[in-house]
Amino acid sequence: MQITRISLNQPSTPQFKAVNQKYFEWAKKDFSIGGSVSTEWMHRLRFDVFLFKEISKKDAIDTVNAVKKHMNKTTECLEDMLKLFKNPN
């Protein structure tokens, strides 16, 4: 899986360190079709973090934050997913 490091110097902008390009591009495609990410996108990201351990929690958080920046309105499901990734257990 390709991870792209993004460095943003603006203080009001979140500092994304590692955005997973596969999920970021998939989210952009979902936005162009339906204006939000698909439930399949959310399930697969969770599986890759918790089940398959292919993506670290930190990278998943950075990816979701980058995706949120492109959304007009953040969904409750996306916010819940962020809380799940930020949970230390």
pLDDT tens digits, 23-72: 999 999 998 898 889 999 999 999 999 999 999 999 999 999 999 988 87
- Type of residue at 29: K
Take residue 61 and report the two structure tokens written for it.
């958080």
Q: Provide the strand spans (E) within the chain.
A: 3-4, 19-20
Position 15 confidence tier, pLDDT thresholds 50, 70, 90: low
